């Protein structure tokens, strides 16, 4: 069994989540507000953090939902980044 790195980050900032997902900060705030992505507010300023595990769970659920839509025939084509 691998030994966890005691220096590995347990939590991510909104900015880190946005960077990992390649989306804007407002999109991450929306995910937190809707509850799609679990997070917590820390300190007097109410800074948002999400755990690495909750982030990984969000991604796994997004993949599951996408596969479900593809299987149901609800996705006609997968657009490329240049189609936008």
Distance between the two ends of the chain, CA-based, in angstroms? 44
Domain residue spans of the chain: 11-74
Phi and psi at residue 36, in whole multiples of 5°? -60, -40
Q: Are 11 and 49 in contact (CB under 8 A)?
A: yes
Per CATH, the number for 11-74 is 1.10.1660.10
Q: What is the pLDDT along the chain (84 residues), one digit of tens a residue?
A: 555 566 678 999 999 999 999 999 999 999 999 999 999 999 999 999 999 999 999 999 999 999 999 888 887 766 666 655
Q: In angstroms, what CA-CA distances link 31 with 9, 72, 80?
A: 21, 24, 23
pTM (2 d.p.): 0.76
Q: What is the pLDDT at residue 2?
A: 52
11 alpha-carbon distance from chain centroid: 12
């Amino acid at each position: 069994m691998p030994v966890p790195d005691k220096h590995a980050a347990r939590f991510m900032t909104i900015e880190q989540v946005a960077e990992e997902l390649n989306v804007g900060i407002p999109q991450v705030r929306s995910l937190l507000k809707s509850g799609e992505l679990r997070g917590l507010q820390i300190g007097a300023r109410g800074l948002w953090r999400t755990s690495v595990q909750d982030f990984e769970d969000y991604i796994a659920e997004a993949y599951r939902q996408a596969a479900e839509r593809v299987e149901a025939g609800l996705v006609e084509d997968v657009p490329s980044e240049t189609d936008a």
